[in-house]
Structure formats: C-alpha cells, structure tokens
Amino acid sequence: MDIDGARIAATVQRLRHRGQATLQERVSRVRATLVLSVQAGLAAGISWLVAHELLGSPQPVFAPISAVGTLAVSVGQRFRRTMELIVGVAVGVAVGDLLIFLLGTGPWQLCLVVTSAILLTVFAGGSVAILIQAAATAVLIVTLSPAGHNLEIPRFLDALIGGSAALLVTALLLPLNPVRVLNRAAQPALDLLANQLDATAEGLRKRDRDKVERSLEKLRDHKEEVASFDEAIQGAKETATLSPARWHRRDELTHYAEAADPIERAIRNATTLTRRAITLVEDAEPIPDMMPASMIHLAESVRLLRHEFAVGEEPERARERSLRAVSEAARAYTEGVGFSGSVVVAQVRTVASDLLVASGIAQEEANRLVREAFGDLKQNKRAVQSEQSEGKPEQSEGKPKQSEGKPEQPE
C-alpha cells in the first residue's frame, strides 16, 4: 500500500504540474493576443458605426468583416491587405455586374462569374488574397442581386471603410509597441540559436554524437523562426510609419532591422559548425575543453544580445562575450585539434563575427576584432604549453608533439 500510495502521489503531482504548465501557456497566449483582440473589436465597431450611421447602409455586414480580415493577417501586411480587399472587391463587382447585365442570374451564370473573376485576377497578376476576395465578391453580387439593388457601390465602400477602420485603430487609437513586437518575434530565432549552441557544446564534452545531431536537425529547421522575425520587422516598420505615437521608436527599429540578416547568417553558420562537430566526434578527434566553452560563450552572447536590445542598451556585453568565444576557440586550436576541429574553430569565429555585426558593428570592424581576439597563434601556443607543463609530468623525448601534422590556421 505504501508503494502504491507513493506512485499515486507522484502521478497526481505530475498531473498538477502539467495542468499548471497548460494554464500558464493559455494565459500567455491570451496576453499575446489581447491587444489584437481589442483592436479587432474596435475596428469592427467603428466600421459598422461609420457605414450604418454616417453613410446610411442598412446592413453593412462587409465593413466589420473587412476590418477584422485586415487585422487577421500578419502585422506588417495590413496596409497591403486593405488595398487587396479594395482591389478584389472592385474586380468582383466589375465582373459580376457586367455578366449579370449580359446574361442574367442563375447557377450557370454564377459558375461563369466566379470562373471569370478568378481568371481575370490571375491574368492581372493579383495575389491569392485578391483572387479570393474577387471570387467571393462576385458570388455575393450574383446571389444577392435578385434580392437587392445597387449593391456594388455599398460593397465597395464597406471594404474601404472596414480596411480604413482597421488602419485607424492600429495607427492612432491602439498602436502596438513595435519594439515589444520585435522582441517577442525575435525570441524564437535567438533562443533556437543559443539553445542549440549550448546543446552542441554539451554533446562535444560528452562525445555524444546523437545529441549533436539532434541540435543539427533543430538548427536546419529554422525557416519558421526567421520568417516570423522578418514579418515582425516589416510590421514594426509599418507601425512606426503610420503611427505618430511610435515615430520616436524608429532608431531602435533600424537597429533591429539591420540585425535580422546577420542573425540569420549566424544560424546558418552555427548549422555548419554543428554538422562538422558530428564528424569530429565520429572521427574521435581531440576535443580541448576550450572548444565547447567557446560555444557556450557564443550562446550567452546571443542571450545578452536579445536582452540588451529589449531594454534599449548598447550591446557591449554581448560583443565582449562573442570575442571571448573567439579567444577560447584560439586556445583550443593551439592546444591541438584535428581537421574537423579546425573547421569548428573557424565557424566559431564566423558566428562571432555575425553576432558582432548584429550588434551594430560594421563587417570590416567585426572581422578585425575577431582577428585580434584570436591573437597570435605562436604566442597562444606558448601560453597553453606553459599552462599544461605546470603540475604535469614532462613528455618523453621520443614522443611526437601533438601539434605536428596539425591543419593550417583557419581563415
């Protein structure tokens, strides 16, 4: 009974923790979408009020639909979405009205109208959103024309009012904080890079090939995180352009926007580093302690970069940690590595350079700082040998030196 009771208690405890984690995730999702929800509600209400009270439309259903549809797309595409709504409605109205005038209404006319609207949109090079909107508008025009009159202009105005209301809410009434949006969007990409650098370092320390390979798989599958970051940058730019209340954030946004490309390069180069680390373990090459230590410094540099961007500080600590990673990689190289180890060292330098550029340093300056941090190999080698000789027995005279046959210095 005691054993069963302990098992039941352990199971209940696990369920309690799981329930708490699920609740926290749900609350986090609600917080993340709270502002968007309020924006959508305001935009829907304003669009209905304008269309119904000011323009006299009896049932302006499409106005709030257009407003919510504009806000539903990714931040950064809302102005384009409004234009797509208007263009799509215009195409659908034109095709539907023309064919109704020539052919009347009915099932086969509906088929012809929808087909024509889609083909015309495709021929004009319209996006998928315009295509869908044109087809949907054509359907409404054909099906509602027998029950109503002069639907074309009200529907076009509804699209215009709905999209404009959405832009009004996001630009003036309840604009998002663009820096906060970027911080939230950048977190998955930066966390991915930092966590997998840590995991690769641990895999090298334990010579655990499977652990390093799992890190490689996660780094390779980074398109979603980078795409979300890019979309957030576009959204932040849109907000800072349309919202006077956010104009003072433009300098911070420029900092972030310039960091996007080097961060993506850092992820790609870390992928190369991890792939070569697998070969290093497979070939049983030497792994000096400083090699995984350099990767841990890189991971910490990524986390510091995210924090210093978030609080608006100059990323000096992130830069210092990147250069420390290079210094540790130099020590690993001079202690003695194989061919794959030399490639890993070279990739540590490359990732560090990418992170320095992401922090706002010019590429040439970043390369110079990396070279200085890597230092003079001969001097580093003497320092390492001096440390190794302290408290250790001397090598036999006939034993070859570890550095003989070592690959050339990585670029």
Q: Is residue 10 part of a domain?
A: no
99 and 113 in contact (C-beta within 8 Å)?
yes
Same structural domain, 133 and 269: no
pLDDT at site 148? 47
In a domain, 205, yes or no: yes
195/283 same-domain check: yes
Model pLDDT, residue 311: 81
- Residue that finishes a domain, picked among 140, 173, 206: 173
Measured distance CA(352)–CA(331) in Å, rounded: 15
Please indicate, yes or no, whether residues 106 and 210 belong to a single structural domain of this protein.
no
10 Å CB burial of residue 25 (0-12, 13-18, 19+) is exposed
What integer pLDDT is reported at residue 319 of this predicted model?
A: 96
Q: Does 301 map to a domain?
A: yes
Assess whether 165 and 60 both reside in one domain: yes
Average pLDDT over residues 153-168: 76
Sequence-ordered list of residues with C-beta below 8 angstroms from that of 210, at least 6 positions apart, any chain: 203
130 assigned to some structural domain: yes
CA atoms in the 13 A half-sphere facing the CB of 397: 0
Residues of the chain with pLDDT > 70, as a percent, come to 70
Residue 396, pLDDT score:
36
Domain count, the chain: 2
Return the higher-pLDDT residue of 357 and 140: 357
| 16 or 39, which is more confident | 39
Which residue, of 173, 196, 227, is where some domain finishes?
Answer: 173
State the pLDDT confidence band at 336, using cuts at 50, 70 and 90: very high
Q: Judge whether 22 lies within some domain.
A: no
The pLDDT score that the predictor gives to residue 172 is: 76
The verdict on 169 and 78 lying in the same domain is yes
- Does one domain contain both 295 and 146? no
In this predicted model, which residue has the larger pLDDT, 378 or 114?
114
Do 371 and 234 lie in one domain? The reply is: yes
Choose one of 149, 173, 197: the last residue of a domain: 173
In a domain, 48, yes or no: yes
The pTM (predicted TM-score) of the whole model is 0.63
Considering the domain boundaries, does residue 165 fall inside one?
yes
Q: How would residue 56 be classed by pLDDT, with cut points 50, 70 and 90?
A: confident
Question: Same domain, yes or no, for 321 and 233?
Answer: yes
Alpha carbon separation from 317 to 265, 308, 322, 345 (Å, rounded)? 21, 8, 9, 22
pLDDT at 152: 52
Contacts of 117 (CB under 8 A, 6+ apart): 91, 92, 95, 96, 134, 135, 137, 138
User: Is 332 a residue whose pLDDT tops 70?
Assistant: yes
Furthest C-alpha separation in the chain: 103
The reply to whether 86 and 164 lie within a common domain is yes
The answer on 185 and 96 residing in a single domain is: no
The whole domain housing 346 covers 178-387
pLDDT bracket for residue 147 (50, 70, 90): very low
Among 60-69, 87-96, 155-164, 199-208, the range of highest mean pLDDT: 199-208
Section 17-42 average pLDDT? 71
The pLDDT tens digits of the residues spanning 362-410 come to 999 999 999 999 986 555 555 545 555 554 443 433 333 333 333 344 3
* Nearest to 131, CA basis, from 97, 160, 92: 92
Neighbours of 96 (CB within 10 A): 31
Mean confidence (pLDDT) of the chain: 78
pLDDT digits (tens, 9 = 90+) for 194-238: 999 999 999 999 999 999 999 999 998 887 777 777 777 776 666
Are 146 and 187 in a shared domain? no
Is 90 exceeded by the pLDDT of residue 268? yes
DSSP 211-242: HHHHHHHHHHS-HHHHHHHHHHHHHHHHHHHH
Assigned domain for 51 exists: yes
pLDDT score, position 15: 57
pLDDT above 70 (res 3):
no
Supply the pLDDT for residue 128: 73
Predicted local confidence at residue 1, as pLDDT? 47
User: What is the pLDDT at residue 59?
Assistant: 73
Residues 186 and 149 in one domain: no
Q: What is the pLDDT of residue 393?
A: 42
CATH of residue 352: 1.20.58
